[in-house]
Amino acid sequence: MDITGSVALVTGANRGLGRQFAQQLLERGAAKVYATSRRPELVDVPGVEVLPLDVTDPESVAAAAAAAGDVTLVVNNAGITTGSNLVTGDLTEIRREMDTHFFGTLGVVRAFAPTLARNGGGAIVNVLSALSWFSYDGANAYAAAKAAAWSLTNGVRLELTGHGTQVTGVVLGAADTDMMAGYTGPMSAPADVVRAALDGVQAGDWEVLVDDWSRGVKASLAADPREFYSRPAV
């Protein structure tokens, strides 16, 4: 996927990683960047075209796809965290996590896959998490939703191969964004995360492991899970 001259759409572009994606795509020569958000008035990246988009609202997704018919690169970045567990957490919040990370991502993919195919094929980038591969008491709804999004990413990659569309999953531990406010562990700079992600897109990578955290967690999956969960919490 050559980013130069591409037409990109970024979900959740009003802050954090999404804002960095929009900015760096322009810096890498994208011809146009649609910066989308549930609150489009908060998007402040110079040079982008702002669109409203709530990934949990099918009508909003359809409207964005109709308005951005020239897209060749889609970045599924929009996300939330509710701090919910699975057994005792509020089911409404658990469903909201799944609606955003799984069904929201899938809805965007389904809406834009025909557009990408009509435009000669392109790329989809799904922002995932190391929590796709482990659970953490206090964030188990998020972990389950991100695990589903990881599996979704692998599935749609196979389905879209015939469309000429590349699908890249971007996996990271923690980035220094508003979503991680209050977290005191090691965090990556958002600019570094996005730079690694876009380098991977350019290289045609199926999966980008951004940091030591994501690489270490994935490597642990072949071992007894008791070994992983006996380690000190990150």
**Cα gap 223→214, rounded to integer Å:** 16
- Of 158, 128, 127, the C-alpha closest to 19 is 127
State the Cα torsion 71-188-144-87 to the nearest 10°: -140
How many Å apart are CA 193 and CA 201, to the nearest integer? 12
Q: Which tokens in the block code for residue 94?
A: 């658990």
**Strand runs (DSSP E) across 20-178, as ranges?**
32-37, 49-52, 73-76, 123-127, 166-171
Q: Which of 34, 136, 142, 183 is catalytic?
A: 142
Our answer to whether residue 183 is catalytic in this structure is no
Q: Is 123 exposed, middle or buried (0-12, 13-18, 19+ CB in 10 A)?
A: buried
So which residues are the catalytic ones? Answer: 142
